[in-house]
Amino acid sequence: MLSRALQRANTAVQLDNAQNFEGARQSYAEACDLLSQVLSRTTTDEDKRKLEAIRRTYTSRIDELDQIGPAQSSEGKELPARPESLELYSGPTSRSTDDELEDYDNHHPYGGI
């Protein structure tokens, strides 16, 4: 589930960078929902702290996007296409939360929080 949350967050960042603010907001919200589910199952304090920091970052970006509003996001032009979803990824599921968070910290633009 953490992999799905991080993939959704990556999609959100891609959409955000492409100025598809509506799609980005939706993907950030989905990532936050998934992170909340992961948090409810996480037992170590350090992992919880990292996940909560990541979720707060995305929640803050959702708030910023809400302030932009849909009228300013489109500016009369068509929105960029939504990137392909990575949800079909069927990689190993036995990785620990620590391993996934470390990979995330090393490869994600908002990682290392």
Strand, helix or coil for residue 95? coil
The sign of the dihedral angle between the CA atoms of 3, 53, 74, 15 is negative
Which domains are present in the chain? 2-71+87-107 (1.20.58.80)
Per-residue model confidence as pLDDT tens for the chain (113 residues): 889 999 999 999 999 999 999 999 999 999 999 999 999 999 999 999 999 999 999 999 999 999 987 645 445 455 555 555 444 443 444 455 666 666 666 555 555 44
Q: Per-residue pLDDT tens for 95-104? A: 556 666 666 6
Give the Cβ contact number of residue 83 at 10 Å.
16
Quick one: pLDDT at residue 68? 85
Predicted local confidence at residue 58, as pLDDT: 95
Q: Is 77 left (phi over 0), alpha (psi -120 to 50) or beta?
A: beta
| Helix, strand, or coil (residue 35) | helix
pLDDT at 97: 62
Contact 22, 55 (CB under 8 A): no
Which residues, other chains included, contact 19 with Cβ-Cβ below 8 Å and sequence gap of 6+?
A: 73, 79, 80
What pLDDT, on a 0 to 100 scale, did the predictor assign at position 87? 44
Q: Please return the burial class of 88, using the count of CB atoms within 10 Å of its CB with bins 0-12, 13-18 and 19+.
A: exposed
Q: How far apart are CA 34 and CA 36, in angstroms?
A: 5
